[in-house]
Every structure is written in structure tokens, then in C-alpha cells.
Structure 1
């Protein structure tokens, strides 16, 4: 049926979240997102409006449902570096994510620093 989503929204958002986390927002092309999600460009735009809209929803879903703390930390880093200053919704999700991370045994700064070292291959 035309106009009915034929994909699992949650799976698409988590695939997108992993792609944004790996490449960053600016370096993540729509073609890369198409490859990662298996959706066509038109379906991505139809469902999420824009790459920015997809990032917002992927970031929100990952922070609310993912048990992968590395993914959440990577997305927070991308959000803070590339989106939060100009996107109030991303800023709000970032604030909630930081608040949730503060409940962890290590400070948010330590978690982010540790993740940056890990991503750079400087720790195991």
C-alpha cells in the first residue's frame, strides 16, 4: 500500500544512530544512511523530514532504549560538537543524556574522555 511505512522504525533509528556515532553528523552523508538502513532516500526524507530530523530521533531513541553506553556516549559527543549549539531539541536531549550519565559511577567528563581515548585506539 502506498504511503504506509514498510520498515521497523526502531531498527532504522538504531542503525542511523550507529552510523551517526561512527561518522559524526556532518561527515555522515544521506547515501551512507541509505546504505546503513536499507531504506531509499525518499523513504528517509518522508519518514524523518531531513537528516537533522533523523539525527534528533535517532539520538532520542538511542538514549532512551539502548543498553550500549558507548553508542550513547558517541552520540552525545556528536551532538555536543555538531548540533546542540544550533538545534534546541538536540540540546534538550543532550541535557537529559548528561543527567542520566551523572547517575553512573564515573563523572560525565570521565565517561566522555574514556570513550574518546577508546575511539582513538589509545585504550583497550
Structure 2
């Protein structure tokens, strides 16, 4: 018999990995861009936090402000991962940037079932 607590924890793992990747992107990307322009830094915050807040695929979030297809939600996750990795390599020592890169890679692998669900034509 399967352990329901273990199954629930396994179902949450992609969410945890995605949140950690997003959090690093929210911190590191504006920080890295602030060296060049405060306007770019503010724009990064608006893009990385604002877009996923406003745009959502129906059925993926409880509250959808602006409905978008699943491919847009996937693109937003990819944007967060790329921002986290690129900014970490620009700002932090190699060991920290490597850890962020591995986290982002684990997030993208763990996201695959969600992405299949987001791109399926059955809803």
C-alpha cells in the first residue's frame, strides 16, 4: 500500500523547486541588473513577479486574472530559471552559481508532468 503522506510530499516537490528557483530569480536578477541600471532592475522585478501573478493557465491556479495557454505558463517558468541561473553566475562565486544551476535543472525536470498537463488538449 502506498504511503499517502509520501505521495503528497512527492507532488509538492516540483512546487518547492519552482518556488526556490523563482525566489532566486526575484533576488538575483534585479541585483545583477542594478549594477547597470535601476530602471532595468525594476523592469526585471515587474517581469519576474508581475507576469506570473497576472498571467495563468486555467486549471493550473485557483485564481486566474488573465487566462493564457499552457505554453505561456511554461515560458514563464523557463524565464525564471534562466534569470536565476544567469544572474547567479554574474553575481556569486562558482560554487553558489553551480548550486543554483543544479536547482534550476532539477526544477525543470520535476516540472515535466505539469508541463504535459499544461499542453494537453484535454481540459
What TM-score comes out, normalization by structure 1 length?
A: 0.29
- Between structures 1 and 2, the one with greater helix share: 2
Task: Name the larger-Rg structure.
Answer: 2
- Structure with bigger RCO (C-alpha 8 Å, 6+ apart): 2
What TM-score comes out, normalization by structure 2 length?
A: 0.29
